[in-house]
């Protein structure tokens, strides 16, 4: 047996001998002192255990966290959708306000209509709107927006009509270049890589003083269907040719996304 073990054994024997010699009251006092000494440590351990248990009860399970996260994603998508709807309504309201101001200022008697369909095979040629002969619509009536000329009515049914767009090759409009004496005749020109389309203005002077950005408006022609001073577009480029000059125009109206129009009925 090692010396350390002998010492510990001797201490244990001595303690047991002392306890045996002590009376009952002394042993009770010794126990009381021992518990008083260890009570704070025991209480601290119990408190820590209770706090750990409370924290554990407050923590959510992984399934609960995943469900809450999924609900937050759904709420976020709903909020974004609501925001888009709100912005769309604001844009439509602004457009209607602009259109109302245009109707009040124009010299024409206008009939409002909405684009209801466009054929994919004739997307750049025509469109259909929700007005027909029940509304007083007739063939060759001009169609416009507050931005400018759209085209003319080419067929009418009871509640629908078809509009030939100014970007179609068969739609010809007498036109003049603002700020000059230059006049000519427009017709549409299809461009494969441009959804907006283009317009040719032909029969100008070869040396016409035409610059990019100049505005082009309709010019009244005897027997024509379009009144004067409707905006057609603006010049993109000018090309002198053998007998005349030709300007390429960008339409004033965005025909690729048009929704609401007006028919000039008088």
How are the residues of the chain apportioned to helix, strand and coil, as percentages rounded to the nearest 5?
40, 30, 30
How far apart (Å, rounded) are the C-alpha atoms in residues 163 and 131?
Answer: 11
143 shares a domain with 33: no
246 shares a domain with 117: yes
User: Would you say residue 38 has pLDDT above 90?
Assistant: no
Query: CATH number, domain at 213?
Result: 2.40.10.340
Question: What backbone torsions phi and psi does residue 137 show, to the nearest 5 degrees?
Answer: -80, 140
81-139: pLDDT as tens digits: 666 666 655 655 555 566 556 556 667 788 889 999 887 777 778 899 999 999 999 99
Mean pLDDT along residues 231-250? 93
Predicted local confidence at residue 71, as pLDDT: 81
Give the range of the structural domain holding residue 51, as residue numbers without chain letter: 3-58
Predicted local confidence at residue 247, as pLDDT: 94
- Please give the structure tokens belonging to residue 81: 């959708």
Distance of CA 9 to the CA centre of its chain: 87
pTM: 0.62
**Cβ(234)–Cβ(204) below 8 Å:** no
CA dihedral 160, 166, 172, 175 (to 10 degrees): 130
Residue found under tokens 């095979």: 121
18 shares a domain with 47: yes
User: Would you say residue 40 has pLDDT above 70?
Assistant: no
Which of 42, 74, 105 is the endpoint of a domain?
A: 105
141 shares a domain with 42: no
137 shares a domain with 118: yes
Domain total in the chain: 3
221 shares a domain with 154: yes
Q: What is the mean pLDDT of the chain?
A: 78
Question: What backbone torsions phi and psi does residue 82 show, to the nearest 5 degrees?
Answer: -65, -40
145 shares a domain with 228: yes
254 shares a domain with 187: yes
150-207: pLDDT as tens digits: 999 999 999 999 999 999 999 999 999 998 889 999 999 877 666 678 899 999 998 8
244 shares a domain with 158: yes
């Amino acid at each position: 047996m090692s010396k350390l073990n002998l010492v510990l054994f001797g201490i244990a024997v001595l303690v047991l001998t002392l306890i045996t010699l002590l009376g009952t009251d002394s042993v009770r006092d010794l126990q009381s002192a021992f518990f008083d000494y260890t009570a704070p440590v025991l209480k601290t351990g119990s408190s820590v255990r209770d706090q750990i248990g409370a924290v554990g009860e407050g923590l959510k399970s992984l399934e609960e966290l995943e469900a809450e996260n999924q609900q937050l994603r759904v709420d976020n998508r709903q909020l974004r959708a609501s925001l888009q709807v709100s912005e769309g309504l604001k844009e439509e309201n602004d457009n209607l306000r602009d259109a109302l101001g245009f109707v009040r200022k124009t010299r024409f008697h206008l009939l409002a209509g909405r684009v209801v369909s466009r054929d994919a095979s004739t997307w750049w040629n025509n469109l259909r709107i929700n007005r027909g002969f029940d509304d007083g619509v007739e063939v060759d009536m001009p169609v416009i927006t507050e931005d400018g000329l759209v085209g003319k009515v080419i067929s009418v049914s009871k509640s629908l009509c078809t509009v030939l767009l100014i970007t179609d090759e068969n739609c010809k409009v007498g036109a003049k270049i603002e700020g000059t004496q230059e006049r000519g005749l427009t017709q549409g020109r299809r461009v494969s890589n441009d959804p907006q389309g283009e317009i040719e203005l032909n029969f100008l002077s070869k040396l016409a003083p035409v610059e990019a950005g100049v505005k082009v408006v309709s010019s009244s022609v005897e027997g024509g269907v379009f009144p004067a001073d409707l905006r057609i577009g603006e010049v993109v480029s000018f090309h002198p040719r053998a007998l005349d000059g030709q300007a390429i125009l960008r339409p004033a109206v965005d025909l690729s996304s048009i929704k609401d129009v007006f028919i000039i009925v008088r």
